[in-house]
Structure 1
């Protein structure tokens, strides 16, 4: 299964896709001698969605974009110079192609959007307009206008456009996604496959979905059909208010299978307000790397539950430097509870930059409040490169299921570590061993275990040998990024 963001790229000819063999809700089919009836989704009390669609459809637009397509190298032709059929081509007068860079012309794509202000502000997805050299919108009345990109936020996949129209445009209004309940009816309106003005109905299937699209969005899941070209279009509740922006589907084949995802309107409102004001989104930054509190970690540090976010690394010179420590478990920010690691980035991102926030945490088993001034977030990436070296194997390390080696200058260079990095580098893991089950990989450098500094493999051996608890807390360095891992040791 794959998550697909639904910007529809048009074929080179510009032809629009069509569908066939569609069985609609309310249709009747014969099966042998029996009759099978599919009931409609619309509630009997409302008599369908027609009045709702009449109200909201004029605010929905189709978005058409043009992207520059770089020249590409033409593929080898069987009739070209030096190819198997060169003589055949010359004998029968077939032109011999000249291989080299080929300019294929601009690429075109489409998506959906909706007007949020009569003056011409339009919301869509960032991936719909990303890289576009030209953007146009088409209204429900078929009027077309060029659009300017006011600002984008790739972190939430949102974009704000502006069109200059000679008249006020019909605008949609935002509702509160926080008030949605699983089972509530919703409709999606958009531009699937370039067809325009398409309405599908369904329910809220789930809330708070994480689909590996960054830490700042907990998606609404819906079974309202969302297809290619629906991206950026609105998800309406039965009051005609926008409660989400349709953005992605989970599908084995690229088409709708009833698992679609929308960005909640509460998130959209906050992001779009910043884009409208300054063209960009600023987010708070705490200056730490965090990870979930697993059952093994909770057992290793004596927590009764798994609530909170475990600080794995404090960025030197960052807002938390000198205030937070690796091993702290953050439980609250400004009085708001942090139940899981996913909640912390959203709380910090929404905090005012320069504001002092009270961070409630657990340190060494005791509750503590720490004041930290929120900084401004900058993008950061990190990777992993396995390392190698001469291995050492002992009975104690057998409980971890690893072989390790000293951290030499060669290892530091290979893994991109600081010159001062020390510890024991993992050179191999037993596939069903304790460390492998906990997520360690070759190239990880074990720096601490249960608070004891590991400067060499013998220190790791001693720490494992002396462990009085079957679960140990290990601090590893993974190519410059540190994180804690709770490991339940194998029996001696």
Structure 2
């Protein structure tokens, strides 16, 4: 006779915890959203003039809450061999009136091994993410990621997804021309992989590449989304998503920033 109140009490407690968790994420998203950016190229003779390549995020300068440096994936950048000399690298940042402002950018460093790139953009400093070491991240930990899925098809509005770190396993990095991988590639390279990567149980899309993986409570960056597992053809990443994505741990972002102090 005493079991029913206990079960009801547990159910109520679970609902309260769940509601609090979503409330925390909502406040975190509102706080970090101004630091998310669009990375692409601009050419006056193209239509449209701006071509989205992926997502990026502004990183803080030391203890400051703003910065002029931005992190994205190396594969988001146009390979040098394919670069159009008349097109320029730009990032788009959200302004106070909720519009997008284009800023010229330059590449400070490309870390091809970890699929990372560090950029600096012109103009005043922007709101920024704080980057935390990923060394304490555990399997089963709740995370969130933000970006621009499917490019501009859904409009230039950042989208947030919740996920779990389902596995920490050897990496299978993408080729320079693709941000998707398949099971065969994973099996072929994992045995010789030089570092571990986070496998997520969340669905990312090509436009999410370069977006931040962050702590839902603090908003601190724990990784960079860089790949999505596809089933079948590349087009199936949109029509039949696997629900499995990958992110590069933030320890390599911190190393990238340490190699470029004050740049």
TM-score, with structure 1 as normaliser: 0.38
Structure 2 contact 38–55 (Cα < 8 Å) conserved? yes
Structure 2 contact 57–70 (Cα < 8 Å) conserved? yes
Comparing 210-219 with 185-194, which one deviates more in the overlay? 210-219
**In the TM superposition, what are the counterparts of 1:25-424 in structure 2 within 5 Å?**
43-48=18-23, 49-65=25-41, 108-117=51-60, 118-131=66-79, 132=83, 133-141=87-95, 142-165=100-123, 167-193=124-150, 194=152, 195=155, 196-211=157-172, 215-238=193-216, 239-252=218-231, 253-255=236-238, 256-274=241-259, 276-277=260-261
**How many aligned residue pairs are there?**
202
CA distance in 1, matches of 2:69, 2:171: 29
CA distance in 1, matches of 2:115, 2:242: 22
Q: Secondary structure at the match of 1:243?
A: strand
CA distance in 1, matches of 2:202, 2:258: 27
Structure 2 contact 139–168 (Cα < 8 Å) conserved? yes
CA distance in 1, matches of 2:19, 2:41: 40
Provide Cα deviations, 1:142-181, integer angstroms capped at 9, x if missing partner: 222111111212111111111112x321010012211112
Higher Cα Rg, which structure: 1
Structure 2 contact 67–127 (Cα < 8 Å) conserved? no
Structure 2 contact 133–254 (Cα < 8 Å) conserved? no
Comparing 133-142 with 238-247, which one deviates more in the overlay? 133-142
Provide Cα deviations, 1:278-318, integer angstroms capped at 9, x if missing partner: 99xxxxxxxxxxxxxxxxxxxxxxxxxxxxxxxxxxxxxxx
Task: Give the RMSD, CA atoms, in angstroms.
Answer: 2.9
Provide Cα deviations, 1:37-70, integer angstroms capped at 9, x if missing partner: xxx9x93333432111011111111111259xxx
Q: 1:278 to 1:50 in 2, by over 3 A?
A: closer
CA distance in 1, matches of 2:168, 2:55: 23
Provide Cα deviations, 1:237-268, integer angstroms capped at 9, x if missing partner: 12211000000010112234211000000122
- Which of structure 1's runs of 4+ aligned residues deviate more than 4 A? none
Q: RCO (CA 8 Å, sep 6+): is it higher in 1 or 2? A: 2
